[in-house]
Structures are given as C-alpha cells and as structure tokens.
Amino acid sequence: MTDILPADRLARRITAHRSAHDADEVRVRVTDSVTSAYRTGYDGAVSRRDGTHRSVVVSVRTGSHWSTELFDGAAPPLPHPPPTDAAGRVSACLLDPATGQPCPEVVDAEYAETSSEVTVLDAGGLTRWDHTHRRLRHWVGGAGGQHLEGAVTWGDRLPDPLVPREERLGLLAVRDAGPGPRGTMPVLLRPAVALHLVNLLASMVNGTNVLGGMRALRERVGRRIAAPAVTVVDDGRLDGPYGSLVDDEGVPTARNVLLESGVLRGFLHSRATAAAFGCPPNGCAVRSQPDGPIGPAVRGFALLPGGGGGAGASGGSDGVDELRALLGTGFEAVAVCRPAVRTDGGRKIRLELFGWHVRAGERDRPVGPVTLEVGLFGWLRTVAACGPTLHHSAVFRGLAAPAVLLSEGSVG
C-alpha cells in the first residue's frame, strides 16, 4: 500500500492531466474511509471486521457542459477509529432489561464506526475535512415479522443502546395484537413509522421528480401545502450524519429550507435540475450508487420537531406521551409490517401497521395489522403536532423525523 498516493497529490495529478486535455475546469474529490464494524447474535459473542476504501469523484467542465466520473480503489493506511465501548453497545441491544440475559427475539445487532478524510481540489484551492459516522442497529422478530431498527450519530456523539432496545420492547408489546378500529380518526405515528411518510416526501421534493410527474408543485412554491406544524429542511453541512462541505458535484452544501411552517420554499437540486428550474444549485447532488449517475438526493432531510427539539437531537423521550394525550381516542402506530405504497393512481399512501387503540389519551389494547391510508399531500395538511425529539434513521439513509400526530387518517 506504500505506492498509493496521498489524497492531495492524487488530486493535483488528476487535475493537471485533465487540464492538459482541454478541460476548462476540474474538481476532484478524494474520500479515504476506514470502518470498524462489530456484530453479535444469540450467543453474545462479538466479532469485528475492519476495512478501508478510497473513492475519487472527478467533475470536468468543457464549455457549459459538466461530466463526472467515479473511481474506486484501495485507500492508504489510515488510523482506525479510537476504541469505544462497541461490544457493550451491541450487547446491550440484545439484553432483556428484566433478566439481563439475551432476548431470544433479537436476531442480531451491529455497531459500525466510519471515519473519513475528504480532500477536494477545485478552482478555489485545496479543502480538507474529517467526518465520523456511527450506526447502531438490530434485527428483531416482532409483530408482522422481522424489523430493522436503530439509531445514527456522528461527530463526538455515541448512539444510545437504550434507543433500539426501547424500540424492540415496543415491537414485542404488540405481537399479540387483535383486530383494530375502523374509520376516520386521529393517528399518532412513532418516529420509525413517520419516517416512511417522510421518505416519500423526500422523493416528492426531489428536483428530478418535480420535473417529471410532480410538475404541479412548481406552481405551488411560496404557497401553503401543509399544516403550520410542518417545517422540513435538508441540511447537508458538515455537522450532520452524512455531512460534507461540498456535494458530489463540488457545490457547497447548505441548510435548505424546503417547507417552512407549511409553505413550500424549494426543492433538492443538482446542477442539471437547477439549470432546468433557472435557479442556482443548492448542494444536494449525490451519487447514490458507486456506478450510478449523480442527481439530487438527501443528506440531512428532516421533518423538524416541535417544542424546541434540535436537529441534532437523538435518544431520550420522543414526546409520545404528550402527543397521545392530545390524540384522545384513536390509533397509535408503533411498527410498519409492510413498506408504504402509493395507491389510487398515486394520490394516496397506504401502510400496514401494528400499534395501539388509544382511548382518552391512554393505550387501550394492541391492534394489528391495521391499514392506514392518507393522501399523498393530504397527510401534510393534517399534521397537528410533532414530538420534541428527532430520530435519525438507521434504515432510511439521511432521513430524520420526530413522532407525528395527524388530526385524521383512514384506518381499516
């Protein structure tokens, strides 16, 4: 590995080569990453695997046309993340708090730490930064089958093993659910459920999709399309789970407000979609697959919490008790047994859920599977309140949501 060039020398060599072949502008991004992953299962034995990886993104402008290429390969020797209580974190996910023994419903758990060194060379000079990302997740057998749950942190934050354990206990509590209520009623969505709706919302405000089947949204910019409780941002800056100083096209990242108190403000853009809209790119270009195209995508897409919760919050109470009291009598959704699908020609969203029938603000009995159907945009107008704590998903990359109270939904 000693013959692998340092990132800055590699970037300068690529820039000089491309500039010598009539390129008007060259941007090179080199990312060297090291990952340590810890995994455990029923027997409690913890295994560890380590790996390094280098990716190089080269963007070249000739005239007004930009083209981008990606190269993958071996990274130079990098220091592994400093030791943490990784074994304890994955093991804590497996334990039954009542007995202190492994919980038989848990299939396995994984904790991964990734540290990256990023080097970008463009017309503005050489820029470097470091980023650390941590993910704790587990697979648990609960209502409707196996569920993948967990939490994501970054920087100096460490994931709380109690968060996935509390989610597991919530899943196990509704395993023996019976028939649920039917009709139109208030619905409380726990964060893991709300994320399925937020995931569809992210696709709806993607510039590529707006240019396609969501063209009508272009006429709604500056107008209210959601309840006042709804504010949505995509914050790709460095202080985030997938943060960066620049996107995959070299555009500086930013905190983009997409919906503000229910008012549509804008969309996720790459250079291409921004040019089609006649607006500047906003740092949302992502190459989702190593050999795929670059397009607008999320880095830190969040339905912001209410009650003063911050975008970096994780763990702790999700405020569901307070929201349940506001709900009164209705349905509390705890787990999704099938992913959200669009129905009625794409105008509605349907989820199959397990949860609780709630009476007078208190859990009455576990119910499920229950079908919840809401309008593709209609659910945004029924958001009565959001919980105070933001949950960063270990399932949907770059998405976060609090608990959400809908004033009504069709339950059957």
For the stretch 335-389, pLDDT in tens is 888 778 888 877 899 999 999 999 999 999 999 899 999 998 899 999 999 999 9
User: How many Cβ atoms from other residues are within 10 Å of residue 265's Cβ?
Assistant: 16
Q: Closest Cα to residue 218, out of 206, 228, 236?
A: 206
CA atoms within 13 A on the CB side of 409: 34
Q: In the structure encoding, which two tokens stand for residue 224, read together? A: 């209210």
What is the full DSSP assignment across 40-89?
EETT--EEEEEEEEEEEEEEEEETTEEEEEEEEEPPPP-PPPPP-SHHHH
Mean predicted confidence (pLDDT) in 40-47: 76
- Give the position of tokens 């599977």: 369
Contact 396, 220 (CB under 8 A): no
Residue 11 has pLDDT above 50, yes or no: yes
CB 255 within 8 A of CB 268: no
pLDDT value for 108: 81
Peptide bond into 369 cis (omega under 30): yes
| Statement: residue 1 has pLDDT above 80 | no
pLDDT > 90: what percent of the chain? 44
At 167, the pLDDT band (50, 70, 90 cuts) reads: confident
Rg of the chain in Å (alpha carbons): 23
| Buried-state track 215-224, b at ≥16 Cβ within 10 A, e below 16 | eebeeeeeeb
Supply the pTM of this predicted model. Answer: 0.88
**Token pair of 247 as six digits:** 């996107």
* Exposure letters 79-115 (e unless 16+ CB within 10 A, then b): eebeeeebbebbbbbbbbeeeeebbebbeebbbbbbb
Longest CA–CA span in the chain (Å) reads 73
Token pair for residue 382? Answer: 């029924």
Contact 254, 285 (CB under 8 A): no
User: Tens digits of per-residue pLDDT, 310-341?
Assistant: 443 333 356 889 999 999 999 999 988 877 88
Q: Cα separation of 205 and 338, whole Å?
A: 23
Q: What is the pLDDT of residue 144?
A: 65
pLDDT for 312 equals 39
Mean pLDDT for the stretch of residues 96-125: 82
Nearest Cα to Cα of residue 399 among 260, 298, 255, 286: 298
- If you average pLDDT over every residue of the chain, what do you get? 86
Answer yes or no: are the C-beta atoms of 116 and 32 closer than 8 Å: yes
Predicted pLDDT at 308: 39
Residues 6+ apart with CB under 8 A from 17: none
Percentage above 70 pLDDT, the chain? 92
- Asked if the model's pLDDT at residue 32 lies above 70, the reply is yes
Q: Bigger pLDDT: 299 or 309?
A: 299
Task: Evaluate whether 237 touches 398 at the Cβ level (below 8 Å).
Answer: no
Dist CA 271 CA 295 (whole Å)? 8
Confidence of residue 105 (pLDDT cuts 50, 70, 90): confident
Residue 138 reports pLDDT greater than 90: no
